[in-house]
């Protein structure tokens, strides 16, 4: 018997046959890379981000200064990395605040129903009706612009949206058999909340957390852009963007790098949220 000729497999074909990473993995990978980079800033950056050297102010990109230097001769690569730490710290803090506050808020409304539910949800509606940036400006003007205050204020602002989401998913779960069984078994409210509802809603709340992280970054950048974010000499991406914007005609790169960092992070966060949401919906279908 003559053997059938085996067609040669081209490199392109081999590449095509490789298992494709999911969009979720790619976006999460990029996010992880960004987080690792900014966390490793002291190892990666070769300069103190706040050390001034007027002699090299506005230096262009070079091997010594990859992103160039700013108006005070500070290394922009180091400032973008360290700025990312503060930006992500504030966004992360805000997400935690929003998650804790919003989840408790929404679950309480779902569990108690009636007048308590009405009161809690109408208050969430009222808070959501206030323009976020305006509210944040007033709070930061009153309490000062520290990292903690920024995370708290932004977290509180994002909590009502989380509360709405938490209430909705809690009500859905409460109609499921496992929840009815737990109730029939005589489980106490605390157990229902922590052992039944929370583990079964956390994937959907994670989607909201990713969306919140993106919103927190935008709010922080907006506050920094009007000068009420991180105070000098420290900088966040928003602060760097604001500083760079003043020098668009002198050195456009000054604004571009922090802008790209913000854009990339928010983009990836939104993709992650989108993919997580789609997966969660498929799992429930």
Partner 1 sequence: MKRLVALSLPAVAAVTLAACGSGSSEDTTSTPAGTPAETTSGGSARTGGSLTVGAASGIPQLNPVLKGTAWEEALFPLLWDGLSRLGPDGTVEPDLATRWTPSADNKTWTFSLRDDVRFSNGKALTANDVVATLKYYQDPDTATQLKTALEPIKSVTASGGDVVFRLSRPNTLLPEVLVPVKIVDTDSLRTIDREPAVTGPFTVAEFVPGDHVYLRRNPDYWGDPASLDEIRLVKAADSTAAVTSLRSGDLDALWSVPSSDIPQLRNEPSISIVEPEVTGVYVSWEMDLSSPPFDDVRARQALAYATDREAIFKAAYYNQGLVAPTNTPLADNSPWFAQGMTDYSYDVDKARALFAEAGVRELTWWGVAGQYPEWNTSGQILQQSLKKAGVDLKIENRELSSWPAKFYPAGRRFPGLVVPNFQSFAPDPYFQLSFLLRGRCECNWDSSEFTDLFDEAVATPDRDARKAVWDRAQQLINREVPIIVPVQTTVATATQKDVTGVWVEGGGLPHFESAGLAE
List 118, 250, 260, 264, residue binding partner 1 (CB under 8 A) = 250
Touching partner 1, residues 125-184 (CB under 8 A): 137, 141, 144-145
Among 186, 188, 249, 282, binds partner 1 (CB under 8 A): 249
At residue 75, the 3 state secondary structure works out as strand
Question: Smallest distance from the beta carbon of 50 to partner 1, in angstroms?
Answer: 8
Q: Based on CB atoms, which residue is closest to partner 1, 83 or 102?
A: 83
- Contacting partner 1 (CB under 8 A), which of 22, 246, 264, 278? 246
* Residue 199 sits in the site that holds partner 1 (CB under 8 A): no
Q: Of 151-159, 184-192, 209-217, 240-248, which part binds partner 1 (CB under 8 A)?
A: 240-248
User: Whose CA is closest to 163, among 219, 97, 91, 107?
Assistant: 107
Residue among 259, 110, 126, 113 at smallest CA distance from 179:
110
Residues 33-62 that bind partner 1 (CB under 8 A): 52, 54, 57
- Using CB under 8 A as the binding rule, whether residue 75 contacts partner 1 is answered as no
Q: Which is nearer to partner 1, 72 or 187 (CB)?
A: 72
226 lies in the site for partner 1, by CB under 8 A: yes
We find the least distance from the C-beta atom of residue 249 to partner 1, in angstroms, to be 6
Q: Give the number of other CB atoms < 10 A from CB of residue 156.
A: 18
Contact residues for 239 (Cβ-Cβ < 8 A; gap 6+): 83, 224, 229, 230, 232
Q: What angle do CA 213, 39, 245 make, to 5 degrees?
A: 65
Quote the CA–CA distance of 242 and 48 in Å, as a whole number.
Answer: 20
- Stretch of 20-28, 161-169, 248-256, 258-266 lying at the interface with partner 1 (CB under 8 A): 248-256
Whose Cβ is closer to partner 1: residue 39's or residue 57's?
Answer: 57
| Cα(218)–Cα(269) distance, integer angstroms | 12
The partner residues of 69 in beta bridges, in order of sequence, read: 75
3-state secondary structure of 69: strand
Count the Cβ atoms, other than its own, within 10 Å of residue 134: 9
> Among 21-29, 196-204, 227-235, 269-277, which window interacts with partner 1 (CB under 8 A)?
227-235
The pair of structure tokens assigned to 154 is 């932004």
Output 29 or 232, the one with its CB closest to partner 1.
232
Residues 201 and 179: their CA atoms lie apart, in Å, by 12
Where do contacts with partner 1 occur on this chain (CB under 8 A)? Answer: 52, 54, 57, 71-72, 137, 141, 144-145, 225-228, 231-233, 242-243, 245-250
């Amino acid at each position: 018997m003559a053997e059938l000729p085996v067609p040669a497999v081209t490199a392109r074909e081999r590449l095509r046959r490789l298992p494709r990473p999911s969009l979720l993995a790619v976006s999460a990978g990029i996010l992880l890379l960004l987080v690792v980079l900014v966390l490793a800033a002291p190892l990666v950056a070769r300069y103190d981000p706040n050390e001034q050297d007027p002699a090299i102010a506005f230096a262009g990109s070079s091997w010594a200064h990859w992103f160039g230097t700013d108006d005070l001769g500070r290394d922009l690569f180091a400032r973008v990395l360290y700025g990312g730490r503060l930006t992500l710290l504030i966004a992360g803090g805000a997400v935690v605040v929003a998650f804790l506050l919003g989840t408790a808020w929404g679950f309480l409304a779902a569990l108690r129903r009636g007048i308590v539910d009405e009161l809690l949800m109408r208050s969430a509606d009222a808070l959501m009706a206030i323009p976020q940036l305006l509210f944040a400006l007033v709070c930061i003007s009153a309490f000062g612009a520290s990292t903690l205050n920024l995370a708290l204020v932004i977290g509180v602002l994002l909590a009502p949206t989380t509360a709405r989401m938490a209430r909705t998913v809690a009500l859905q779960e409460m109609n499921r058999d496992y929840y009815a069984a737990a109730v029939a078994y005589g489980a106490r409210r605390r157990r229902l909340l922590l052992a039944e509802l929370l583990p079964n809603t956390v994937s959907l709340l994670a989607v909201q957390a990713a969306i919140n992280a993106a919103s927190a970054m935008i709010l922080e950048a907006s506050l920094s852009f009007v000068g009420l974010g991180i105070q000098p000499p420290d900088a966040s991406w928003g602060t760097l963007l604001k500083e760079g914007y003043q020098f668009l005609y002198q050195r456009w790169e000054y604004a571009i790098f922090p802008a790209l960092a913000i854009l990339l992070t928010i983009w990836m966060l939104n993709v992650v949220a989108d993919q997580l949401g789609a997966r969660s919906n498929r799992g429930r279908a």
